[in-house]
Amino acid sequence: MSKSNPSNDSNTDGTVDRVLNILNNEGQKEKSAFEEGNSLLIGKDANLIRKREEEYRDIQKQWVRREIWLKTANSILKKKGKKGNKQRIRYLTLPAYHRLDVSLFLKEGLLEITKRSKGAPEEIYVAAFENDPSKFALMKEQSPGFRLFGCESIENVLTDKNNKYYHELRNLFPFDVINLDLTTSITPEHEGPYSKTMDAVDTIFDIQSGQGIDWALFLTFRNVPDELEEGARSQLFRNLQNNIDNNPEVLEVFQNRYQKDSVKDLEKSDVKKCISQSVVKWLVDRAHQHKFKVGSSIQVYHYPRLNAGIPPYEIYKHVLELTPAGINPAHIPTKNIPVQAWMTRDLKKCVEQHKCRDVDDIIIRLLEKAHAKYEDLEDEVESLCKMI
């Protein structure tokens, strides 16, 4: 069976057109939020909405939501219960219009409910941000409401003390699950080696530290080598190579995983995989610096994004469970945390478990075994869209 992209046929039944009608109707309700003629729903900008709705409703992404994100959130919830915490999940996310991740978690009973009206959820412990003012205007009246919903980029909110949402978001920490579902490179070329995105990720680790909770980080980014800032790429690769050079156990794992002896060799054979591996290594480094160790597993998934009118690109999704880690009391405190045994185990794990699973291949195998599973995912997307 040849590989296909199920999302390419997403409008054959008029689904996308129905979504556009919904958005247009909501836009009329929110017309006071922006002047007539400036709406993204007018003229050529309607095509942008169409593309974005196709992007967030694809089957590959829904498979990741249900099979990876949902199961990871359930794992974190179980750990909270073992510590005697009866509350549900507190969630930070970047939702699209239909906020399918939020609706899925709510449907499965994972999210903490902070306000009810006649028994139904009126507000949930979710902080979310939408950078597009017109899309934000359409989304802000959706139900149930969030503890915080802001019209801003998450990077600005986390790193700019003068941002109007800065203190409000910080007061909502810690979160049990943080979903940085980005649509850009982790180090855009125009931002220099240490991008605002990387600064935001490091800030998250810093705020979450010292809270004594297990939590999960979901990181999604465009893995397009030409978009990666050259200095950042060089530093990420060098960081990974230093890990291999300074730890014979990690070198052995690297050789077994890739049948390569160096990062340069891996870059030549598969640059996207090399970027992904380097990002995982960087995330583990930041976790260690803030006294977190990796939990049960590191998961990496990818699939192509194929939308009409734009070049195809690869989406990578990283999932890490993190848990507070202790420092051996025999070590004298220094500026940097002394290397711990669990750190070495994590460095091996971040290579050993970096398997880069292809979601298209997984879905194709599912289709070959049972076509009904594919239809169930489509139906679930439809049902989640109707929850708002």
Average pLDDT on 98-119 reads 94
Of the listed ranges 31-45, 47-61, 157-171, 296-310, the one predicted with least confidence: 31-45
Write down the pLDDT at residue 189. Answer: 64
Write down the pLDDT at residue 299. Answer: 97
Three-class SS state of 93: strand
Write down the pLDDT at residue 4. Answer: 39
CA angle 27, 28, 29 (to 5 degrees): 90
pLDDT in tens, 158-193: 999 999 999 999 999 999 999 999 988 887 766 666
**DSSP bridge pairs for 146:** 124
Average pLDDT on 343-360 reads 95
What are the residue boundaries of the structural domains of the chain, listed by start? 58-385
Confidence of residue 211 (pLDDT cuts 50, 70, 90): very high
Write down the pLDDT at residue 376. Answer: 80
More confident residue, 322 or 309: 322
- Round to whole Å and give the CA distance between 99 and 93: 9
Average pLDDT on 279-306 reads 94
pLDDT in tens, 235-260: 999 999 999 999 999 999 999 999 99
Q: How much is the mean pLDDT over the chain?
A: 83
Kindly compute the dihedral angle of the four CA atoms of residues 90, 280, 55, 137, in this order, to the nearest 10 degrees: 40
Percent of the chain with pLDDT over 90: 62
Look at residues 196, 177, 40, 210 and name the one whose alpha carbon lies nearest to residue 105: 177
Q: Which two tokens stand for residue 326?
A: 């202790």
Q: Does residue 50 have a pLDDT over 70? A: no
**DSSP bridge pairs for 124:** 113, 146
Write down the pLDDT at residue 192. Answer: 62
- Round to whole Å and give the CA distance between 44 and 41: 8
Contact 198, 186 (CB under 8 A): yes
More confident residue, 304 or 377: 304
pTM of the model as a whole: 0.81
Write down the pLDDT at residue 333. Answer: 60
Write down the pLDDT at residue 228. Answer: 87
Average pLDDT on 14-28 reads 40
Alpha helices in the chain (DSSP H): 15-29, 45-56, 59-64, 71-82, 100-107, 133-139, 154-159, 166-170, 196-208, 230-246, 248-258, 263-269, 271-289, 341-352, 359-369, 371-385
